[in-house]
């Protein structure tokens, strides 16, 4: 896209020649009061040849943003940002939150082959990187994917982070794929939030039989997304109706708490059945005990639990978000084929970011919270 005979790119952005940009940042961990709007956040720079700068049109929020605002995972994420521990405590500030982005490529590093300036893209942003509540974000090219053509940016920003969490849990850890799901019985504990609503649709597209738990008022909504069987967890101990059902090949746990006490008994024993939980104490351990002891505690916990359940013939696993452009490419195809639709619960403007966080904190999600950014300045 170079204008012939010149080195000027035909791409206009609001502050192309400046070194600052508008963003919501935090300068310390805390409650909603720590969110601060600034027009002077540092403009992202390409440090590695495989990186791209994306102009953000819409950002998605996740429960992780709310907990990161409060300092959850600070120790581990600081280590990931600064493995040699060269920088001082607090060097992550000002920190930009926001884990989903849909937007347009503004600049590519020299080794980037798959994208060009002005391509429309979407991505899930790893928690150790600066987020999408800003005019621009820098990402590695292999974390980014071309956005589905059938979605607006606002709709697209509802998918990547929950999709990559569900993909990591169900595909990488759970071993599911579009070719081996037919007739498998899957149970999703907590079906009505971001991860649940995405997972139901992907598993139904792959031919699985999907049972979900949710509160009663979400039943019709989840049936509309394709859920075959819905169990209301507010009507009494949910393990009772669930244990009356045929046993499951895989359980995805989005709820945690006491679910581990009973959920593994719902799996088919000695058949490779897996329980994958997304609610893990990994970041809590490292926050509480420090990196070394926290990691040891984490390894000991997961190994003990895996062994305890293995002797009963079922597999216990932790699911962890993993960014992947190629996996997002596969999700894009499913979206453009009409198999997966975005579930946007509420959309906020860029000036309403604190309200968006407040809403997230109330819980009871019915899909995703998205912030529209592009049209705000
Ligand atoms: N390990 C990782 O890398 C990773 C990555 C992403 C997310 N996560 C975790 O995965 C979980 C799900 O994420 P999300 O984005 O889908 O969260 P979300 O959008 O906030 O949804 C959570 C849903 O669970 C429902 N719920 C609450 N208690 C329940 C119960 N006892 N039984 C059934 N449903 C219940 C809530 O609705 P009601 O309260 O109305 O029922 C809500 O719809 C969160 O705990 C999140 O922290 C982990």
> For helices 194-205 and 160-167, what crossing angle results, to 10°?
60
**How many of the other CB atoms lie within 10 Å of CB of 228?**
15
Residues whose CB falls within 8 Å of the CB of residue 159, separated by 6 or more in sequence, listed in order: 60, 100, 122, 151, 198, 331, 335, 340, 342, 368
Distance CA 64, CA 162 (A): 11
* Ligand 1 atom index nearest CA of 217: 40
Q: What is the pLDDT of residue 8?
A: 42
Residues linked to residue 101 through DSSP beta bridges, in sequence order: 59, 123
Q: Measured from the CA of 233, which atom of ligand 1 is nearest?
A: 32
Please report, rounded to a whole number, the percentage of residues in the chain having pLDDT higher than 70.
94
Whether the bond between 14 and the residue before it is cis, its omega within 30 degrees of 0, is no
Region 347-366: mean pLDDT is: 96
Cβ atoms of 142 and 165 closer than 8 Å: no
Which helix (H) or strand (E) segment holds residue 23: the answer is strand 20-26
Share of the chain above pLDDT 90, in %: 80
Residue 21 and residue 207: Cα distance in Å, rounded? 45
Please report the pLDDT score of residue 138 as a whole number.
Answer: 98
Tens digits of residue pLDDT in 268-327? 999 999 999 999 888 888 788 887 888 888 888 888 888 888 878 999 999 999 999 999
The architecture of the domain spanning 162-318 is 3-Layer(aba) Sandwich (3.40)
The predicted pLDDT at position 285 comes to: 81
Average pLDDT score, the chain: 92
What's the gap in Å between 129 CA and the centre of ligand 1? 23
State the pLDDT at residue 250.
Answer: 98
What is the CB < 6 Å shell around ligand 1?
Answer: 62-64, 162, 165, 189-190, 192-196, 213-215, 233, 254-255, 278-280, 319-321, 363-365
pLDDT at position 2 is: 40
- The pLDDT of residue 375 is 63
Query: Best mutation site among 365, 366, 367, 369 for ligand 1, i.e. most ligand atoms within 8 A of its Cβ?
Result: 365
Which stretches within the chain are classed as H helix? 63-69, 74-81, 153-156, 160-167, 194-205, 219-224, 239-243, 259-263, 282-289, 291-310, 325-336, 353-361
Domain positions in the chain are 20-159+342-376, 162-318
Q: Which of 61, 189, 254 to mutate to test the pocket of ligand 1 (most atoms within 8 A of CB)?
A: 254
Q: What is the pLDDT of residue 18?
A: 64
DSSP three-state, residue 121: strand
**pTM reported for the whole predicted model:** 0.94
Any idea which fold 20-159+342-376 has? Quinone Oxidoreductase; Chain A, domain 1 (3.90.180)
Give the per-residue pLDDT at 17.
55
């Amino acid at each position: 896209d170079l204008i012939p005979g010149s080195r000027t790119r035909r791409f206009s952005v609001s502050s192309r020649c400046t070194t600052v940009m508008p963003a919501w940042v935090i300068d310390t961990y805390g409650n909603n009061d720590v969110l601060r709007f600034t027009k002077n956040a540092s403009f992202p720079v390409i440090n590695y040849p495989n990186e791209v700068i994306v102009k953000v049109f819409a950002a998605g929020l996740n429960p992780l943003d709310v907990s990161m605002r409060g300092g959850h995972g600070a120790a581990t994420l600081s280590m990931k940002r600064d493995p040699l521990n060269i920088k001082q405590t607090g060097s992550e500030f000002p920190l930009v939150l926001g884990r989903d982005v849909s937007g347009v490529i503004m600049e590519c590093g020299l080794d980037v082959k798959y994208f060009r300036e002005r391509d429309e893209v979407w991505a899930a942003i790893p928690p150790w990187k600066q987020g999408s509540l800003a005019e621009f974000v820098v990402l590695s090219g292999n974390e980014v994917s071309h956005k589905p053509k059938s979605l607006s940016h606002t709709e697209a920003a509802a998918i990547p982070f929950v999709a990559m969490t569900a993909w990591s849990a169900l595909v990488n850890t759970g071993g599911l794929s579009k070719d081996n799901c037919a007739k498998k019985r899957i149970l999703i504990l907590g079906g009505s939030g971001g991860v649940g609503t995405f997972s139901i649709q992907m598993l139904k597209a792959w031919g699985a039989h999907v049972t979900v738990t949710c509160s009663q008022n979400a039943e019709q909504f989840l049936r509309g997304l394709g859920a075959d069987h819905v169990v209301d967890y507010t009507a009494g101990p949910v393990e009772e109706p669930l244990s009356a059902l045929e046993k499951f090949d895989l359980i995805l746990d989005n709820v945690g708490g006491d679910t581990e006490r009973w959920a593994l008994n719902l799996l088919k024993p000695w058949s490779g059945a897996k329980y994958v939980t997304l609610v893990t104490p990994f970041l809590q351990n490292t926050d509480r005990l420090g990196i070394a002891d926290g990691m040891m505690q984490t390894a000991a916990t997961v190994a003990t639990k895996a062994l305890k359940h293995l002797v009963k013939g079922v597999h216990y696993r932790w699911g962890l978000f993993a960014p992947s452009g190629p996996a997002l490419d596969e999700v894009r195809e499913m979206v453009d084929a009409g198999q997966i639709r975005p579930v946007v619960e509420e959309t906020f403007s860029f000036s309403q970011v604190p309200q968006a966080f407040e809403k997230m904190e109330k819980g009871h999600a019915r899909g995703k919270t998205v912030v529209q950014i592009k049209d705000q300045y």
